[in-house]
Amino acid sequence: MLKVENLDVYYGNIHALHAVSFEVKEGEIVTLIGANGAGKTTTLHAISGLIPIAAGSVRFLDQDLTSLTPHKIVELGLTQVPEGRRIFANLTVKENLEMGAFTRKDRKGVNDDYERIFTRFPRLKERLKQVAGTLSGGEQQMLAIARTLMSRPKLVLMDEPSMGLAPLLVKEIFDIIKEINATGTTILLVEQNAQLALTIADRAYVLETGRVVLQGDAKELANSEEVRKAYLGG
């Protein structure tokens, strides 16, 4: 579904990604794990077209994304849940969801999706007219995910959904991610919480200073000595 090959990204003189290659197949949850500064977020931003790519290719559903602008990529069905939630704080919950559906023109489908979102996130329905900035951290993360789902994506890129949340909420968010995947949405998950990410993912790639250093089945990686030492605390 998504094929990234030899991706190179620079921030000025800093070579952030070195020939990163990986693949996400339809229906999978794939996770990119790695320490701070490994290039996880950079990879997602490069895929979404938010930062320029120096070399390499990104193909999604047999289309080249490298020269497309971010909104074209969203229209193709690839949407990101940005790191740190980044909800529109002064807009209401409803308006945030509307913005998620911004690229869509099928009114009826959008209305159906509202209903679907409300059954999945009943708490958002209760707070529909509330200003999003007044939501709790967990609710904001749910809103960020719901907002992304409003674009009816085929592939969702999730950037650190567990960031800054209490353990109980993290579990809830990860249950939601599994649910979303179960209904047919493919997920590329970026996480620092490698342990948790590996329990729900099918496959995983380990990034280290801008390079893919390990890859494979999520369960195997979770058991591998190397990963345990580096990312799972022994």
Partner 1 sequence: MSTKKTAVVCFLVVAVVLLLLYTLVALRIIDEYTSQVLTVAGINVIIALGLNLISGFTGQLALGHAGFMAVGAYTTAALVMKLNVPIFPAMLGGALMAALFGFLIGLPTLRLRGDYLAIVTLGFGEIIRVVMINLPKLTGGPAGLKGIPTFTTNFFWRPVLSFAMVYFTLALVVVFLSNLLKSSHGKAIISIREDEIAANAMGINVFYYKIFAFTLSAFIGGLGGALYAPFFGYLSPNMFNFQKSVEFLIIVVLGGMGNLTGTVLAGIGLTYLQEILRFLKDYRLVIYPVILIIVMIFQPSGVMGLFGNREFSLTAIINKLIGKSPNREKSADKAGEV
Residues that bind partner 1 (CB under 8 A): 48, 50, 69-71, 73-75, 79-80, 82, 86-91, 95, 98-100, 102-103, 129, 147-148, 151
Reported as half-sphere exposure (CB side, CA atoms, 13 A), residue 1 has a value of 20
* Residue closer to partner 1, measured from CB, 118 or 224: 118
Report residue 106 as tokens.
């099928």
Task: Give which of 160, 169, 180 is closest to 85, Cα–Cα.
Answer: 160
* Residue closer to partner 1, measured from CB, 27 or 84: 84
Partners of 9 in beta bridges: 17
Our CA angle for 135, 138, 144, nearest 5°, is 80
Closest distance of CB 70 from partner 1, Å: 5
Contacts 24+ apart (CB under 8 A), 127-132: 127/93, 128/92, 128/93, 128/94, 129/92, 129/93, 129/94, 130/92, 130/93, 131/89, 131/90, 131/91, 131/92, 132/87, 132/88, 132/89, 132/90, 132/91, 132/92, 132/93, 132/95, 132/96
* Residue closer to partner 1, measured from CB, 85 or 203: 85
Closest distance of CB 103 from partner 1, Å: 4
* Residue closer to partner 1, measured from CB, 91 or 200: 91
* Residue closer to partner 1, measured from CB, 34 or 100: 100
3-class DSSP state of 156: strand
| Alpha helix (H) residue ranges in the chain | 40-48, 70-76, 93-100, 107-120, 122-126, 137-149, 167-182, 194-200, 218-223, 225-231
Closest distance of CB 95 from partner 1, Å: 6
* Residue closer to partner 1, measured from CB, 63 or 223: 63
Closest distance of CB 1 from partner 1, Å: 19
Closest distance of CB 69 from partner 1, Å: 7
* Residue closer to partner 1, measured from CB, 102 or 226: 102
Closest distance of CB 134 from partner 1, Å: 12
Closest distance of CB 226 from partner 1, Å: 33
